[in-house]
Amino acid sequence: MASFQAKEWLKAAYSDLRNIEHILDDSYLTHMVAFHSQQAIEKSFKAIMENMSMPIPRVHKLENLVSKINIELEFNVEILETLDLLYIESRYPGDMGLLPHGKPALQDAEEFYNMAKNIFEQVCKLLSVTIEDITAL
């Protein structure tokens, strides 16, 4: 059974996924899809940490977080690394969510979303949390 705080992290991750669903087909907003995908994954990882009563670090790097949660999850490491590159701490508008060649393509944005949703679903299953549990909070 997931703790209340773990569910709160998952609720926040679910909000990011819902935001993505509204903008996923907009080629102008692919950088925002990347940002919210990174956030959904980060919050999903932190839900696991919270449920394990681990201290929640104030870091955003997905590779660091996943290394702390000694749990097998299926995900594409390359996409995780790309999302880490896209997350800009300072969030300056000129740099936010840009790859070396500019904004992510629509296909990239879909891959980011699909992986974020997949990780979220794996964590929900791991913690025995349903969407109804999350939306009822």
55-79 tens-digit pLDDT: 999 988 999 999 999 888 999 999 9
pLDDT in tens, 80-134: 988 888 765 435 555 555 555 678 899 999 999 999 999 999 999 999 999 999 9
Neighbours of 28 (CB within 10 A): 8
CATH fold of 4-135: Four Helix Bundle (Hemerythrin (Met), subunit A) (1.20.120)
Residue 120 CA neighbour count, 13 Å, CB half: 29
**Integer CA distances (angstroms), 24 to 33, 89, 98, 99, in order:** 7, 23, 16, 17
Residue 86 is predicted with a pLDDT of 76
